[in-house]
């Protein structure tokens, strides 16, 4: 009898504890909506596509070498060189606005703003296309190393520090390239790097991780690698990029050639289709959102110029903040580069 009483008391205790735990979990989930804290930490987000209008212009030189294209521009009195590596499916043409000097250039919203920020701060910018869809870690490393060295000498920039910024596949590539070439610093954007595959010594360059913590698997690796690099005495830092809500004028603010009326119509469409929540946050990654299909039905009057589809796609991915090139943190990125100039 006594034993059964004890057991049932114990049982009551256990169920009370589990109930309390369940209540706590439900409370926590409901409070956050199961999402990242919603604080749009986006310095420079007020910077629209036109903020460089007149001050710096994309007027690059296009060249072919070693079976790939390089597109570059050198501002007056350059103080440093910046090599930029795109992500998978990217090309050098995405970084530059279409102009008479590059008819085939695309000028994706984030890429172009990174380049314009760099030029306005006196960085000579070199972009190269990968041979295939993504960067590869074999011979391509040697080819790009030679391209950078050749280009720097040809343009008389060998006295300047060379920095590198790589996004996604480009980030992995740059993290490896940093063992072949002497960089003054590297930015690995939405990429943890290949630090589990390369030998990193104390003279590895200062490394800034610009990442989107919503991508928790990458975030974990970055946390790990930051500890490892610090232990080896390497200067490391991070910038976290968070999600933010869309608004009626958001797309017009970010994309040259997309008007306020189209921007507002698209925002309405996204609301109507339930692609954004009541606060304007993307519910899913832009790639997983069937907005192009919804647009097809709606786009009979050609609401959106087809040439801007990839531009819109990029901004939707950016707002969701899981995995996309970002220029919103340019201010922090370039201040960090500048703090490593000497």
Ligand X SMILES: *[C@@H]1O[C@H](CO)[C@@H](O)[C@H](O)[C@H]1NC(C)=O
Query: Contact positions toward ligand X, by CB under 6 A?
Result: 65-66, 142-143, 146
Which one, 68 or 247, has the nearer CB to ligand X? 68
Q: Closest residue (Cβ) to ligand X?
A: 66
At its nearest, how many Å lie between ligand X and the CB of residue 222?
Answer: 31
At its nearest, how many Å lie between ligand X and the CB of residue 177?
Answer: 14
208 strand-pairing partners: 187, 237
Our measurement of the distance from residue 1's CA atom to the centroid of its chain's CA atoms, rounded to an integer in Å, reads 67
At its nearest, how many Å lie between ligand X and the CB of residue 145?
Answer: 8
Which one, 24 or 142, has the nearer CB to ligand X? 142
Which one, 83 or 209, has the nearer CB to ligand X? 83
At its nearest, how many Å lie between ligand X and the CB of residue 67?
Answer: 8
At its nearest, how many Å lie between ligand X and the CB of residue 136?
Answer: 13
Contact 71, 95 (CB under 8 A): yes
Which one, 143 or 237, has the nearer CB to ligand X? 143
Which one, 66 or 299, has the nearer CB to ligand X? 66
Contact 96, 107 (CB under 8 A): yes
Which one, 65 or 230, has the nearer CB to ligand X? 65
At its nearest, how many Å lie between ligand X and the CB of residue 180?
Answer: 12
């Amino acid at each position: 009898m006594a034993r059964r009483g004890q057991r049932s008391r114990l049982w009551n205790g256990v169920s009370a504890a589990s109930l309390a735990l369940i209540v706590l979990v439900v409370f926590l989930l409901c409070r956050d909506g199961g999402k990242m804290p919603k604080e749009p930490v986006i310095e420079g987000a007020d910077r629209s596509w036109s903020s460089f209008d007149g001050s710096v212009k994309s007027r690059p030189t296009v060249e072919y070498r070693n079976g790939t294209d390089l597109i570059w521009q050198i501002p007056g009195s350059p103080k440093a060189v910046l090599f930029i590596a795109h992500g998978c499916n990217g090309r050098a043409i995405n970084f530059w606005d279409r102009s008479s000097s590059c008819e085939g250039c695309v000028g994706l919203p984030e890429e172009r703003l990174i380049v314009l920020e760099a030029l306005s701060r006196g960085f000579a910018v070199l972009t190269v296309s990968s041979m295939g869809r993504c960067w590869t870690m074999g011979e391509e490393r040697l080819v790009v190393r030679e391209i950078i060295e050749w280009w720097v000498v040809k343009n008389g920039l060998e006295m300047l520090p060379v920095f590198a910024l790589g996004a996604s596949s480009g980030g992995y590539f740059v993290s490896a390239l940093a063992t072949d070439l002497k960089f003054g610093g590297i930015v690995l954007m939405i990429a943890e790097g290949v630090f589990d595959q390369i030998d990193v010594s104390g003279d590895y360059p200062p490394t800034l991780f610009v990442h989107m913590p919503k991508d928790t698997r990458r975030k974990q690796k970055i946390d790990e690698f930051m500890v490892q690099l610090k232990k080896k005495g390497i200067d490391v830092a991070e910038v976290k990029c968070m999600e933010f809500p869309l608004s009626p004028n958001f797309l017009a603010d970010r994309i040259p050639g997309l008007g306020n009326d189209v921007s507002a119509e698209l925002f309405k469409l996204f609301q109507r289709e339930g692609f954004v929540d009541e606060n304007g946050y993307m519910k899913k990654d832009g790639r997983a959102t069937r907005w192009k299909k919804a647009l097809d039905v709606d786009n009979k009057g050609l609401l959106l110029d087809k040439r801007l589809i990839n531009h819109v796609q990029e901004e939707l991915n950016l707002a969701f903040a899981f995995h996309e090139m970002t220029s919103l943190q340019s201010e922090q990125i370039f201040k960090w580069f500048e703090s490593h100039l000497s």
